[in-house]
Structure 1
Amino acid sequence: MSKSVLELKDLIPCEIMERINRFVVKIKLVDRTEMAHLRNTGRLNGLVERGKYALCIPKSKGKTNFLLIGVKVNESYALIDTKIQCLAFEHAIENNLIPRLIGWKIKEKEKTFLDSRIDYVLVKQTGDSALLEIKSAVDFDGYYSMYPDCPTDRGLKHLRTLTYARKKGMACFIVFIAAHPLAKAFKPNSQADPRIKKALIQAKNAGCVIRSIKFHLEKNGKVLLDNPSLDVVL
């Protein structure tokens, strides 16, 4: 059964008219058009496209007046905002809702390790520590939630950094946020960037823990944890 981990306020329905660039989307409200900020630089194929219904949140700072948060898929919404994906993950781990991460707590965020910035440093009461990197996986092929949806040198660098850290004895986790409501499992998207699958296999062989967690967004603003241990196929 899905469990609510966040509840967003002030969600407003809108219609996507055009993606202006990586960060800005033109949206249509009931009485006007606006520009919305997009905090997900992936291509978002099949989601951020003309005519798609979506949910946005008003904001007061910056060049745009709204944040684009979710895109309608059937009666639910794909959670495309990477910041809110991370917030949902943080609530889940702090409340011990992710089986493989029970007992771990977040110590630091955006930790520089070697020449990469890793999302989280985790700690246990025993004093053990770990590195954890989150990746957004909203690309969808009809069954699998996938990452990436375009070539990513940055993502590849993160995976190689964690593989190196694990070989040096650090515990390392790689977590893919499957934020598409219809996803049944996760796999790397070899068509978008074949290097990622190879890097994930190398990371797993080195001892990195690879997991996928499924969330989606509802119209009422609730972010639901559907599956804390979605199948991962490499």
Structure 2
Amino acid sequence: MQLPPLTKGVILYRYKRFLADVELDDGSLVTAHCPNTGRMTGCWEPGAPVELSYSDNPKRKLAWTLERVDMGRGWVGVNTARTNSIVAEAITEGRVPPLSGYARLQWEVKYDFPDHPPSRLDLMLSEGDSSDALVEIKNVTLLVGDTLQFPDAVSVRAKKHLDVLMGAVERGLRGIILFALNRPEGDTFAPAAEIDPGYAVRLKEVIDNGVEAYALRLNHQEKGIVGGGMVSVSR
């Protein structure tokens, strides 16, 4: 994925979840939209280098968007609105081997089955040699030691997605949870059991019963982001 033109600066403060004050390299101060619903633990600190994108859309309240932060070892992607597109691009280009061989990719698929509320999952893959696959993508930026973890806060919604994937498997489909690792550090992925033990337990349960879990590295380049390189998943 090619990113729009980026402007460099340093982050001063993140507040009210969706706002970040940034000093640009020319010395001007701006408030940027921070499109990240998580806590962003370990993804920012005052004075950390950042890159922003700019929009002249008059309907926007804030012209600037926080795209990524350098915590000392390379860019950490904090614009979660881009993650699904990067993963979808990697799948269609054959850079996610477990999900290769499908001719059709659909976005935001509504999936209903008895005794469960209607749900939407990020992708559906069909017209392949394997069973159709429902894919839920989770953006991962929490780093604990050398392990990337999810979630960074208790998430009832994320746990419900696992239930939906389990329901899909029970009906003969492939259920896929794909963790998109949006920073360069870390050599393995594991659920954040200390933060959300319920999610960690449920993830193990659904994997034991046929849900497939994969972790894909998102590689930040000067002008874009490329998905490629599988990382081991520890339960």
Q: TM-score, normalised by structure 1?
A: 0.90
**Cα distance, 1:226–1:95 mapped onto 2, change above 3 Å:** closer
Counterpart residue identity of residue 52, structure 2: C
SS of equivalent residue, structure 1 residue 110: strand
Distance in 1 separating the partners of 2:195 and 2:45: 19
Which deviates more from structure 2 when the two are superposed, residues 129-138 or residues 39-48? 39-48
**Residue deviations 1:36-73 (CA, integer Å, cap 9, x gap):** 11222111111133222111111233111111111103
Deviation of 1:121 after TM superposition, in Å, equals 1.1
Q: Structure 2 regions of 5+ residues with no counterpart?
A: 113-117
Residues 14-41 of structure 1 show CA distances to partners (whole Å, capped at 9, x for unaligned) of 2111112222212111232112112221
CA distance in structure 2 between the partners assigned to 1:197 and 1:117 by the alignment: 21
1:75 deviates by: 5.0
Quick one: percent identity of the two aligned structures? 24
Q: Which residue does the alignment assign to 2:224?
A: 222
Instruction: Name the stretch that deviates more: 96-105 or 133-142.
Output: 96-105
Could you say which residue in structure 2 is the equivalent of 1:8?
3
Q: Structure 1's 98 and 148: CA in aligned 2 closer, same or farther, altered over 3 A?
A: same
| Aligned CA distance change for structure 1 residues 200 and 130 (closer, same or farther; 3 Å) | same
TM-score by length of 2: 0.90
How far apart, in 1, do the equivalents of 2:167 and 2:217 lie? 27
Whole-angstrom CA distance in 1 between matches of 2:232 and 2:142 = 16
Aligned to 2:123: 120
Aligned to 1:176: 179
Distance 1:106 1:141, change over 3 A: farther
Structure 1 residue identity aligned to 2:220:
L
CA contact (8 A) 1:76 1:216 kept: no
Task: Say which SS state the counterpart of residue 35 (structure 2) adopts.
Answer: coil
Point out which structure has higher relative CO (alpha carbons under 8 A, 6+ apart): 1
**Which sections of structure 1, spanning at least 5 residues, go unmatched?**
1-5
- Report whether the alignment pairs 1:131 with 2:124: no
Pair 1:156-2:156 in alignment: no
CA 1:226–1:182: 2 relative to 1, 3 Å: farther
Mapping for residues 70-149 of structure 1, pairs under 5 Å: 70-114=68-112, 115-126=118-129, 128-149=131-152
In the alignment, residue 80 of structure 1 is paired with which amino acid?
V
Aligned residues: 227
| One-letter amino acid matched to 1:90 | A
The residue that corresponds to 1:50 in the other structure is 46
Which piece of structure 1 moves more, 79-88 or 199-208?
79-88
C-alpha separation in 2, matches of 1:76 and 1:174: 26
Runs of 4+ in 1 over 3 A off after TM superposition: 125-128
Residue pair 2:9, 2:22 contacting (<8 A) in 1 also: yes
Cα gap change, 1:16/1:106 in structure 2, threshold over 3 Å: closer, same or farther? farther
CA distance in 1, matches of 2:119, 2:136: 11
Instruction: Kindly report which structure 2 residues correspond to 1:185-224, keeping only aligned pairs within 5 A, or say none.
Output: 185-218=188-221, 220-224=222-226
Between the aligned partners of 2:98 and 2:14, the Cα distance in structure 1 is 37
Which residue of 2 is the match for residue 3 of structure 1? none
Distance 2:95 2:135 in 1: 16
3-state SS of paired residue (1:204): helix
CA distance in 2, matches of 1:148, 1:65: 29
Superposition deviation, residue 7 in structure 1: 2.5
The CA RMSD measured in Å over matched residues stands at 1.7
1:95-135 Cα offsets, whole Å, 9 max, x none, are: 11111111124532111223221101111345842210000
